[in-house]
């Protein structure tokens, strides 16, 4: 069943769910065949608002994402969901039977759900998540929700793909809040305290307030701290309203343009890294040659830097310093 | 204060702590100047046993790492510590005053402590952690402990740098254990249940046992599940003994050689990615040209893939398909 590129693009842009799913698989698998597709779709995209939702495992991200998506669907907006969280019901947590919860959205033609089960993938998750977002955007999604676990370099990079980043906390996190301080807190446009019906919600709120009071931030956007109970849907409408307020803020404030610029720059650099590597790896590497290089390293005959330099020279790199 | 390369290498290999610290800073900052150093040190290293310790925030990793290091020091072994955990007292958590706990090791000439505060660094943490380990190895460390948070791609890659990987869990993790199932459990050579004096330790042990019974693993190594109370030091000697048993196992079992081979291969590929990117970025990018590319992307005049292809051509890449 082969489609011409034009036909494929047309199917995606008409919102055909199978075409969208197939395209995401294609970019996820990598390889040159997806590049003409991504080039073409780039010119069809650019309208979706991308919301990153991050938080530690057990914070209830998947449930909140589901409720957010349902609320946007109620407003008749097309919604894409990209879950790059290993604990997500869309990817790993399916063991728990949580996937069942998503059944309503799974049968909704205006909702696109995709897990990125790409742990271990060379090149990282961020480029794959970016490409999936581009496809969902071209498919007519008004909103794309990206769900990540808020620890680790990759997750911070993914958060940077978003127009708005929601950081979720829960009461009784204890020392865990320390983790967030180191890198995640800075990227929050909105805070959500989920499971806000549990004891300690107010304490978490005060801790966030304290942090915000000492952190250097934009004077023009007052980072809101919202409370939700994702399981019951409590506070979800308020969260959507707050996100929409932030969207309007971005439209008129230089921060919006700055952020789009930074996102484009990071993606360009990540893409360059990935494609350089793929090109050289394809030209120079077969299993035999890798085994030979690795054998030399293990016997300490040659160091890895010298081998890399040899590979780069053999790839036809213009020689230069370094 | 400029040192010739020979002098610098000599100082590092004699175990001079300032020289070691300076060398790690040098590789952390990147750039071409560190490459001749790394090439030379490669031939001086290869003796250290590398132990990865991973677990979620709040599991007590830093405390356990400190106690492990102290025990190895008691055995008169030289110990290096590389903390790539944002919650670690060596990096982020210093806010809590935890750094004080490490004072004993900080004043010990046979212990080298280093945090990798490189969140946001292009190229990821794994290559930087590898280089730091190489330097500590060349400096005569018998054991290098790498501390990471066990969530996220980067952390899995860092764990792969280790000869032995210790996965820490705590009682009452609840759903968090799901996170670990998705990628971390597979890399554990030893499990440690820390805070084992708290209720639920036995339950966590049973959950791990159940998982191990269904997971495909080497028939020759029975993954031990140990209990510790890092704050009091309880169980730490037992953990060191178990790690040493695993070390002896690796010396005589094909798994040992397989693992060294895989580690060399992953590092080689990561290094190739990094150096290719650095070379091209240095040749082609100044702030002005990036701004121009990003401007084109934002106005959707050109897609990122086409720009990357132009950069690659301009870098003198031998042209080929894709």
**Complete DSSP assignment for B102-150:** GHHHHT-TTEEEEE---TT-TT-HHHHHHHHHHHHHHTT-SEEEEEEES
Residue A167 lies in a domain: yes
pLDDT of B196 > 60? The answer is yes
Are A72 and A142 contacting, i.e. CB atoms less than 8 angstroms apart?
yes
User: How many domains are there within chain A?
Assistant: 1
Which residue in A35, A174, A322 is closest to B322 by CB distance?
A: A35
pLDDT at B132 over 70: yes
Band of residue A39 on the pLDDT scale cut at 50, 70, 90? very high
Report the range out of A181-185, B105-109, B145-149, B232-236 with the highest average pLDDT.
B232-236
ipTM here: 0.80
Q: What is the value of pTM for the model shown?
A: 0.73
Question: Is residue B280, in this structure, part of any structural domain at all?
Answer: no
Q: Cα B125–B126–B129 angle (5° rounding)?
A: 85
Q: Above 90 in pLDDT, residue B229?
A: yes
What chain A residue is nearest to B179 in terms of C-alpha separation?
A87
Domain range enclosing B128: 46-254
Residue B310 lies in a domain: no
The answer to whether the beta carbons of residues A64 and A230 sit under 8 Å apart is yes
Question: CA-CA distances (angstroms) from residue A156 to A50, A180, B156?
Answer: 15, 11, 16
Q: Is position A21 within any domain? A: no
* Contact: B175, A57; criterion CB under 8 Å: yes
What's residue A238's pLDDT? 97
The predicted pLDDT at position A100 comes to 46
Cβ neighbours, 10 Å, residue A121: 15
pLDDT for B76: 96
For residues B232 and A320, the model is more confident at: B232
- How far is residue A221's CA from residue A250's CA, in Å, rounded to a whole number? 9
State the pLDDT at residue B95.
Answer: 33
Beta strands in A56-140 (DSSP E): 79-83, 111-115
Cβ distance B265 to A290 under 8 Å? yes
Q: What is the pLDDT of residue A184?
A: 63
Burial class of residue A224 in the structure, from the number of CB atoms within 10 Å of its CB (0-12 exposed, 13-18 middle, 19+ buried)? middle
- What mean pLDDT comes out for the span A155-160? 68
Reported confidence tier of residue B121, pLDDT bands at 50, 70, 90: very low
Average pLDDT over residues B92-116: 64
Query: Strand order of the sheet with strand A111-115?
Result: A111-115, A79-83, A143-149, A49-55, A164-169, A190-193, A225-227
Cβ of A119 under 8 Å from any chain B Cβ? yes
pLDDT bracket for residue A322 (50, 70, 90): very low
Quick one: DSSP state of residue B234?
A: B
- pLDDT at res. B86: 56
The whole-number pLDDT of residue B128 equals 79
| pLDDT score, position B279 | 82
Return the closest-CA partner of residue B86 out of B47, B54, B106, B57.
B57
pLDDT > 90 in chain B, percent: 44
d(CA B157, CA B217): 19
User: Is the CB of residue B172 less than 8 Å away from at least one CB of chain A?
Assistant: no
Is residue A317 a part of any domain in this protein?
Answer: no
How close does chain A come to B281, measured CA to CA in Å? 9
Q: What pLDDT, in 10s, does the model give residues B43-91?
A: 999 999 999 998 877 788 889 999 999 999 999 999 999 987 655 555 4
Contact B224, B164 (CB under 8 A): no
Q: What is the pLDDT of residues A200-226, one digit of tens each?
A: 899 889 888 887 887 666 778 999 999
Contact between residue A154 and residue A126 where contact means Cβ atoms under 8 Å apart: yes
Contact between B92 and A182 using a beta-carbon 8 Å cutoff: yes
Q: How confident is the model at residue A280 (pLDDT cuts 50, 70, 90)?
A: confident
Tell me, what CATH number does A193's domain have?
A: 3.40.50.300
Beta bridge partners of B229: B234
Who's near B90: CB < 8 A, 6+ residues apart?
B62, B81, B83, B99, B102, B113, B114, B115, B147
Question: How far is the C-alpha of A62 from the C-alpha of A92, rounded, in Å?
Answer: 12
Give me the mean pLDDT over the A168-181 stretch.
66
Q: For tokens 């590929």, what's the residue?
A: B269
Residue (of B202, B244, B247, B248) closest to B225 by Cα position = B202
- The mean predicted confidence, pLDDT, of chain A is 82
Distance, CA of A299 to CA of A205 (rounded, Å): 56
CB contact under 8 A, B290 and A264: no
**For residue B215, what is the DSSP state?**
S
Q: Which of A38, A149, A155 is closest, CB to CB, to B305?
A: A38
pLDDT value of residue B271: 86
Q: Which pLDDT does position A99 carry in this prediction?
A: 44
Residues of A in contact with B92 (CB under 8 A): 178-179, 181-182
Q: Is the dihedral of CA A50, A51, A57, A61 positive or negative?
A: negative
Residue A146 pLDDT more than 60? yes
- pLDDT at residue B212 is higher than 50: yes
Residue A223 lies in a domain: yes
- Mean pLDDT, chain B, integer: 82
CB-nearest to A318 from B119, B304, B316 is B316
A92 and B182 within 8 Å at the Cβ level: the answer is yes
Residue B201 in domain: yes
pLDDT of residue B20: 95
């Amino acid at each position: 069943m082969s489609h011409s590129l034009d036909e494929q693009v047309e199917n995606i842009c008409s919102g055909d769910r199978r075409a969208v799913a197939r395209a995401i698989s294609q970019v996820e698998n990598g390889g040159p065949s997806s590049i003409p597709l991504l080039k073409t779709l780039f010119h069809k995209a650019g309208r979706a608002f991308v919301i990153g939702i991050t938080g530690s495992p057990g914070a209830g991200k998947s449930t909140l994402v589901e409720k957010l998506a349902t609320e946007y669907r109620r407003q008749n907006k097309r919604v894409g969901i990209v879950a790059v969280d290993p604990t997500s019901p869309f990817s790993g947590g399916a063991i728990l039977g949580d996937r069942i919860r998503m059944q309503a959205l799974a049968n909704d033609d205006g909702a696109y759900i995709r897990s990125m089960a790409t742990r271990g993938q060379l090149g990282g998750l961020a480029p794959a998540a970016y490409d999936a977002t581009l496809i969902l955007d071209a498919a007519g999604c008004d909103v794309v929700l990206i769900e990540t676990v808020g620890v680790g370099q990759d997750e911070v990079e993914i958060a940077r793909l978003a127009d708005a980043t929601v950081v979720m906390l829960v009461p009784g996190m204890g020392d865990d809040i320390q983790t967030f301080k180191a890198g995640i807190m800075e990227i929050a446009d909105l805070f959500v305290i989920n499971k806000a019906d549990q004891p300690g919600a107010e304490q978490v709120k005060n801790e966030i307030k304290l942090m915000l009071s000492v952190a250097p931030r934009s004077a023009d956007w007052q980072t809101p701290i919202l409370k939700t109970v994702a399981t019951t849907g409590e506070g979800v409408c308020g969260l959507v309203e707050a996100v929409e307020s932030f969207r309007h803020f971005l439209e008129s404030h230089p921060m919006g343009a700055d952020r789009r610029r930074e996102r484009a720059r990071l993606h360009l650099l990540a893409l360059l890294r990935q494609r350089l590597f793929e090109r050289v790896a394809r030209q120079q590497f077969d299993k035999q040659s890798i085994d030979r290089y690795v054998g030399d390293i293990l016997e300490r005959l040659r160091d890895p830097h010298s081998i890399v330099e040899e590979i780069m020279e053999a790839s036809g790199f213009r020689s230069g310093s370094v």
